[in-house]
Amino acid sequence: SKKISKICCIGAGYVGGPTMAVIAQKCPDIEVTVVDINAQRIAAWNDKDVNKIPVYEPGLSEVVAEARGKNLFFSTEVDKAIDEAEMIFISVNTPTKTYGKGKGMAADLKYIELCARQIARVAKNDKIVVEKSTLPVRTAEALKSILHNTGNGVNFDILSNPEFLAEGTAIQDLYKPDRVLIGGDSPEAIQALVDVYACWVPNENILTTNVWSSELSKLTANAFLAQRVSSINALSELCEKTGADVNEVARAIGTDSRIGPKFLKASVGFGGSCFQKDILNLVYIAKTYGLTEVADYWEQVILMNDHQKRRFADNIVSTLYNTVSGKKIAFLGWAFKKDTNDTRESAAIYVADHLLNEQAEIVVYDPKVPEEQIYADLDYLNTRSEKENRNLVTVVNDPYEAVNEAHAVAVLTEWDEFKAYDWQKIYREMLKPSFVFDGRALLDKEQLKGIGFEMYTIGVGEEQ
């Protein structure tokens, strides 16, 4: 099969950046260029201070430091990179549509289509085009149709290669993937991509399927993962009412090898750019085929997640004597999970929105999320004016400043450092009674009760 010497990746985001950095590090003979139309993002990837790259992931800046300028490049010259590469990854965003048919459900494929048209316009020799973005079933067909009608005699092979990395552990996941999935119909093209991964991934971990199985597998994997979270979260509410502890229940059922121990942590709700978007997409596809029961089944995973965020906020209000108006509530964490600076669909955003509707004053501390991002997330909801958001929400760089004179602390992200804080000191700084709402079951409930806190831990009921 053809040996690849130059790769181009369109989209320098949370997937394109880390994935290409690892390919470059592991395949020193391949030159990898990551391009993006967002010039600010590319400038950040090229920042001399490698700690200022736009994606925070443990271990990522080290990989970038090693490969950047050697065989890893970040650029805004999209046409040039397309022209020179034999293999082009498309890793652009595929958000939920916000307009027209399928609004709020279907994936918006306009960015993908723009990429396909750009490749069709620029390419002068044969290319392998790899879908890295998560795409609805049969998108490859649309790509093929756009690319094959250029009339310039160039041949395009299209592969689906969905990415299974999890943010927060992206580098480890890329180094040791449970599997790499490649869907396609050209054996030579498939082999060319297998050869890239074979630089570091054992052959038995590289699966090949037809294109549609591959596309659907990614949506299915995210649907199953999110479904586990909603299942344990549904039980967390029952545990709270009955005096059980959802963490004990999770431990007990997780020992069943058919269930397994992972991804059974109750929380204030899942977030991230993928789970909700991909399930909505699955629901939309099922509806398109008239499969109402299938669609309703998966939609319930989202409804449960919305309920979990909502009830966490409602519980704060009712516990604080049915009013939070003018009360200071300290948010520990804003990112959708620990070890990432990504806030897309973070539970914190929605909990904050509910509390702001009740006129709470929120002070946010997150170790990695900058102030502008927090305001941008709230503004995007369009619930209130930008001015009101800035009046009601303060962002601080010191957790002890956040808790000063606060009525309550709410833990929204499971950052490790929150466990190590001086909770005696936090108790002294807060108003009394001092409430802690632990949305991640992160803190030691008994220890904090011993200090004097009024504790609420998600999924943990009071023994009757």
Q: Which residues bind ligand NAI (CB under 6 A)?
A: 10-16, 35-38, 41, 78, 91-94, 111, 114-115, 133-134, 163, 165, 167, 273-274
Q: State the first-to-last Cα distance of the chain, in angstroms, to the nearest integer.
A: 68
On whether 98 is known to bind a ligand per the annotation, the reply is no
Q: Which is nearer to ligand NAI, 37 or 234 (CB)?
A: 37
- Ligand-binding site membership of 125 (annotated): no
| In the complex, residue closest to ligand NAI by CB | 13
Using alpha carbons, select from 19, 323, 374, 324 the residue that is nearest to residue 166: 19
| 14 marked as binding residue | yes
Contact yes or no for 23/7 (Cβ under 8 A) = yes
* H or E stretch covering 233: helix 211-242
Helix 275-288 and helix 292-319, axial crossing angle in degrees, nearest 10: 150
Tell me the closest approach of the beta carbon of residue 167 to ligand NAI, in angstroms.
5
Instruction: Using the structure block, give the residue that is written with the tokens 């990504």.
Output: 342
State in angstroms the smallest separation of the CB of 237 from ligand NAI: 28
Calculate the alpha carbon distances from 186 to 125, 156, 193, 211, 305 in Å.
17, 10, 11, 10, 40
Residue (59 or 452) nearer to ligand NAI, CB: 59
State the nearest-atom distance from the C-beta of 340 to ligand NAI, in Å.
Answer: 8
DSSP 88-139: EEE----PBP-SSTTTTTSB--HHHHHHHHHHHHH--S-EEEEE-S---TTH
**Enzyme catalytic residues:** 274
- Give the nearer residue to ligand NAI in terms of CB position, either 92 or 140: 92
Q: Are 247 and 460 in contact (CB under 8 A)?
A: yes
Tell me whether residue 194 is annotated as binding: no
Q: Which is nearer to ligand NAI, 16 or 183 (CB)?
A: 16
Tell me the C-alpha to C-alpha distance, in Å, between residue 445 and each of 58, 239, 267, 278: 28, 16, 15, 35
- Does 92 carry a binding-site annotation? yes
Q: Is 172 or 315 the residue whose CB approaches ligand NAI more closely?
A: 172
Q: Which residues are annotated as a binding site?
A: 11-16, 36, 41, 92-96, 133-134, 163-167, 218-222, 258, 265-271, 274-277, 336-337, 344, 440
Q: Which residues are annotated as a binding site for NAD(+)?
A: 11-16, 36, 41, 92-96, 133-134, 167, 274-277, 344
Q: Which residues are annotated as a binding site for substrate?
A: 163-167, 218-222, 258, 265-271, 336-337, 440
